[in-house]
Amino acid sequence: MKKLLTAILAAAMMCTTAFALTGCGDESSQGADTSNVVSSIDDLPGKTIGVQLGTTGDLEATKYEKEGSKIERFNKGGDAVLALSQGKVDCVIIDNEPAKAFVAANEGLKILDEPFIEEEYAICVAKDNDELTEDINTALNELKADGTVEKIILNYIGDDIGKSPYKSPDGVDNSKGELHMATNAFFEPYEFYDGDTVVGIDAMIAQAICDKLGYKLVIDDMDFDSIITAVQSGKADFGMAGMTVTEERLESINFTDTYTKANQVIIVKE
């Protein structure tokens, strides 16, 4: 009997001690580990953030390194999202429209309601190529004025997807030669593959610009981080890849007028 009482007392003491730490085995009172949860922008300091190398998300996330955040950089946005699904990063910062496509394709992810930053997209051209910059601006502004740019965007975003595809006019003149567009074709809906063909908002706007100017469009797919270098070196005539105008980039290249606005957002696990 004494042995039984001793065992009961010992068990009671263990439960009392453990209760302060875990609720004495009651899993519902232990609570989940929320140390890596990102619920708002305020949670970013100290977290592991996934970004696509060289993007606006990369540039803006870098600022959080001073606050203890670790930035994991990937050549493709899809690789950053995969790392989030696998628990290797706590969140991903990326453009809003590609974020929607990634979340739709990956169960268990969501986009925070609060936008990270707002941005404007434009076409980058080498600093010594003022003539091409001016020509693109002239064509781009005509395409905005007649509604072509808006129709192209609405063909890929919104409730009327696929209803207003861009087609080059019959008998279009491309006798001036080729214009090479540097892009990263894994950024749906701005540029992505349909079979072996690069399509999307940027690809179609670029095609419309080339139709206006009398050139054949050639799209060169590469890592996003290589686009500016390709334009600077003359390997590509212009770059178009959901590229945001920033003061840092303006030190290396010129930008045309903007053709659309967007948001950087934060993808997290549900």
Looking at 118, 149, 173, which one is the last position of a domain? 118
Determine the structural domain holding residue 179 and report its residue range: 119-262
In a domain, 125, yes or no: yes
Check whether residue 85 and residue 136 sit in a common domain: no
Check whether residue 137 and residue 100 sit in a common domain: no
Top-confidence residue, 184 or 20:
184
The per-residue pLDDT for range 219-250, each reduced to its tens digit, is 999 999 999 999 999 999 999 999 999 999 99
Q: How far apart are CA 213 and CA 179, in angstroms?
A: 10
Check whether residue 161 and residue 249 sit in a common domain: yes
In a domain, 242, yes or no: yes
The per-residue pLDDT for range 122-145, each reduced to its tens digit, is 999 999 999 999 999 999 999 999
In a domain, 12, yes or no: no
On the question of pLDDT at 14 being above 80, the answer is no
Q: How far apart are CA 239 and CA 127, in angstroms?
A: 13
pTM of the model: 0.76
* Highest mean pLDDT of the ranges 30-44, 53-67, 214-228: 214-228
The per-residue pLDDT for range 158-182, each reduced to its tens digit, is 889 999 999 999 999 999 999 999 9
In a domain, 155, yes or no: yes
- Report pLDDT for 159: 87
Total count of domains within the chain: 2
On the question of pLDDT at 79 being above 70, the answer is yes
For residues 82-88, average pLDDT: 97
The per-residue pLDDT for range 100-116, each reduced to its tens digit, is 999 999 999 999 999 89
Looking at 118, 146, 176, which one is the last position of a domain? 118
Check whether residue 102 and residue 235 sit in a common domain: no
In a domain, 100, yes or no: yes
Check whether residue 64 and residue 195 sit in a common domain: no
Check whether residue 159 and residue 59 sit in a common domain: no
pLDDT tier, 151 (very low <50, low <70, confident <90, very high otherwise): very high
Check whether residue 91 and residue 123 sit in a common domain: no
Check whether residue 167 and residue 236 sit in a common domain: yes
pLDDT tier, 34 (very low <50, low <70, confident <90, very high otherwise): low
On the question of pLDDT at 27 being above 80, the answer is no
Check whether residue 109 and residue 195 sit in a common domain: no
Looking at 68, 90, 118, which one is the last position of a domain? 118
- Report pLDDT for 158: 87
Check whether residue 218 and residue 200 sit in a common domain: yes
162: domain CATH number? 3.40.190.10
Rounded to the nearest integer, the mean pLDDT of the chain is: 89
In a domain, 160, yes or no: yes
In a domain, 54, yes or no: yes
Check whether residue 146 and residue 234 sit in a common domain: yes
In a domain, 23, yes or no: no
- Report pLDDT for 220: 98
Check whether residue 101 and residue 140 sit in a common domain: no
- Report pLDDT for 23: 43
